[in-house]
Amino acid sequence: MYFLHTADWQIGMKAAAAGSAGAHVRAARLKAAGRVVAIEADFLLVAGDTFEDNAVDRALVQQTGEILARFRGPVYLLPGNHDPLQPGSVWEHPVWRQFPNLHVIREAAAISVPGGTLLAAPLTEVHSRHDPSACLAGIERPGGTVIGMSHGTVEGIDPDTEHHPIARDAWQRARIDYMALGHWHSTSLYPDADGVPRMAYCGTHETTRFGERDSGNVLRVRMENGLPKLERIATGGLSWLTIEEQILVEGDLARLRDRIAALPANALVRVDIRGLLHAAEAVVLRQIAEMSGRFLHFSLDSEALRPAAEDGWEEALPAGAVRLAARHLRERAASGDIVAAEALLELQALAAQVGA
């Protein structure tokens, strides 16, 4: 048995965090889907949340079905919590009947697949505290290699989940050799006592947001004598890069600027700078802000930067009210007053402009 395990395509997601790059991010999910179906395997499992919700544009459903149909073997699609099997759902679209290799899981069943048997049951609700894989144990199945497919949160990830909790030993309870899971977007394996990965999240095929660890993959699984061997294949096209930097000494900010300048242009970049801004480097901070145009998406948060206390630049201001005001702002900034810290930065920039 030799198959691809993918999930959480979330086609139709809004990608609001990507701002004006949202359309690019949405298109990237379809492009990555094209890369998935081009990978060689005997069949393909999509373990839930193919779509962001049941209201996505019907043209997008058609397009997704056409991409899936390009896979050179049978494709088995599991309705997940984002796209549960319900009246009016995406699964009523005619595209699922248009191509003979597309199979939507519409009931708990044993399905004959190349090399063995697949057990799966569709999700029919957005929220549930019941284990969606529990019913697999009761399904009659022939001998040979048996795998399962389900969608939810493996015990231990989030104890308060309303998203279909799945037992740690769900594969044993279901009496199967491997459980293909969807829902969490990072690739994660669950080995048995002998270190054999018996359950796995393949992760989303294309990263959906900043901070998503180890996503943008599919798993290719080869079952040999009932033992799964997993191969992780990268399918993501976008880089979501988060840079969190603490600026301490003069020179740190310039090094950060050079690092950002070296990032690939098609990246989505989020920069979070905290620490001390030295007067001489105010210009470097501006240079970093001006890099926004070179990336697909760029956001800079430098609100946690504070003027460095040792600078004493305000002592070069003309004696009088302005210098006094700067000293007061410095004192208040030093005691954690964010508005004062920002005012001091602005005053500093103004002073630089007028050559004070």
Window contacting Mn ion (CB under 5 A); options: 22-30, 67-75, 80-88, 309-317: 80-88
Q: Cα(74)–Cα(319) distance, rounded to whole angstroms? A: 80
Taking the complex as a whole, the smallest distance from the CB of residue 226 to Mn ion amounts, in Å, to: 28
Give 150's contacts (C-beta < 8 A, 6+ positions apart): 47, 48, 78, 120, 121, 132, 133, 136, 166, 170, 179, 180, 181, 182
What is the nearest approach in angstroms of Mn ion to the Cβ of residue 6? 13
Angle between the N-to-C axes of helices 282-289 and 338-354, in degrees from 0 to 180, rounded to the nearest 10: 100
When the beta carbons of 163 and 306 are compared against Mn ion, the nearer one is 163
| Residue among 49 and 131 whose Cβ is closer to Mn ion | 49
Asked if 26 is part of the footprint of Mn ion (rule: CB under 5 A), the reply reads no
The residue among 64 and 117 lying less far from Mn ion, judged by its C-beta, is 64
- How far, in Å, CA of 1 to CA of 138, rounded? 23
**Segment near Mn ion (CB under 5 A), from 75-83, 153-161, 227-235, 332-340?**
75-83
Please, which residue, 74 or 132, has the CB nearer to Mn ion? 132
49 in contact with Mn ion (CB under 5 A):
yes
Q: Contacting Mn ion (CB under 5 A), which of 65, 80, 116, 216?
A: 80
Binder of Mn ion out of 81, 145, 207, 302 (CB under 5 A): 81
CB neighbours of 172 closer than 8 A, spacing ≥ 6? Answer: 198
CA of 131: how far to CAs of 123, 127, 159, 166, 173, in Å? 10, 11, 13, 5, 11
Number of C-beta neighbours around residue 11 at 10 A: 23
Strand partners, 298: 269
Structure tokens at 199: 């359950």
Q: Is 215 in the site for Mn ion (CB under 5 A)?
A: no
Q: Which is nearer to Mn ion, 9 or 43 (CB)?
A: 9
Q: Which stretch binds Mn ion (CB under 5 A): 42-50, 141-149, 255-263, 328-336?
A: 42-50
Asked if residue 183 binds Mn ion (CB under 5 A), the reply is: yes
Contact residues toward Mn ion (CB under 5 A) are: 49, 80-81, 183
